[in-house]
Amino acid sequence: NSSRLLGKTILITGASGGIGAATALLFAKAGSNLILLARRTEALQKVAEAVRAVPGAGKVAAVQLDVSDKTQVANLWKAIPNELRNVDVLVNNAGFVLGVERVGAIKEEDVESMFQTNVFGLVSMTQLLIKDFKERKTGHVINIGSIAGREPYAGGSIYCATKHAVNAFTGALMRELVDTPIRVTEIQPGMVETEFSIIRFRGDKSAADKVYEGLQPLVAEDIAEEIVWAASRPPHVNIAELFVLPVNQA
């Protein structure tokens, strides 16, 4: 029931494109307020404009933020207008995979950058919001994991390790918060056609497209619908995990 999202405030990391942007639009349709975070300001502003144009949308703030920058995360509240500081849902969506390389060939900087965003950034954002959620005795953390957090694949060791870390972290957090009204959800998508695939192949679009041969990938809106659905369950219902695949992916 999306009327439960009316007037709620949703903070989304990685909101400048793909799943994050689609999720922002869907929450806006339900009348939620939005805090949109990402590194690329121009792309982020475009999403913010599209969200503001949704009939019935609430207030919208777009703030440049790199989740892997601890100083930026620590100063986040200062960049958020007062009326949007009571966040109800944190969607930890920012993440990427860089390259398809065997363990011996992976560059140290790629190992670090994937862990810094996919794991350390997600942890920093969660710590920031959990403190606030505990004080206000409300809140919902929705982490975007992956099929890669369940099933490792050759050439994806580091990305899979980061998403396994997201899975472990999310499960532990849910159990730690069992005596509180705070909800914790992990959404694990299979293949979703976004810029993600192009970044994975370092800009090689034809290599990215080959991955989808013989199957119809999900679109960002498919995952956005699951995120919004999980957030709109009654307060006593916690959707712990959702594993969502294209029909021909196993």
Nearer to ligand NDP, 91 or 138 (CB): 91
- Is 95 within 8 Å of 162 (Cβ atoms)? yes
Q: Is 121 a binder of ligand NDP (CB under 6 A)?
A: yes
Q: Which two tokens stand for residue 112?
A: 């670090």
246 is a contact residue toward ligand NDP (CB under 6 A): no
Q: Is 16 in the site for ligand NDP (CB under 6 A)?
A: yes
Q: Within 10 A of 25 (CB to CB), how many other CB atoms are there?
A: 19
Binding mask 209-238 for ligand NDP (x = CB under 6 A): -----------x------------------
CB contact at 8 A, 169 and 122: yes
Strand 183-189 relative to strand 140-144, pairing: parallel
**Cα separation values, 212 from 142, 149, 156, 209, 223, Å:** 27, 20, 17, 6, 17
68 is a site residue for ligand NDP (CB under 6 A): yes
Pairing of strands 33-38, 60-64: parallel
Question: Considering only residues 66, 101, 110, 132, which one is a binding residue for ligand NDP as defined by CB under 6 A?
Answer: 66
Active site (annotated) includes residue 159: yes
Residues taking part in catalysis: 159, 163
Binding residues (CB under 6 A) for ligand NDP: these are 13-14, 16-20, 38-40, 43, 65-68, 93-96, 117, 121, 144, 146, 189, 191-192, 194-196, 199, 220
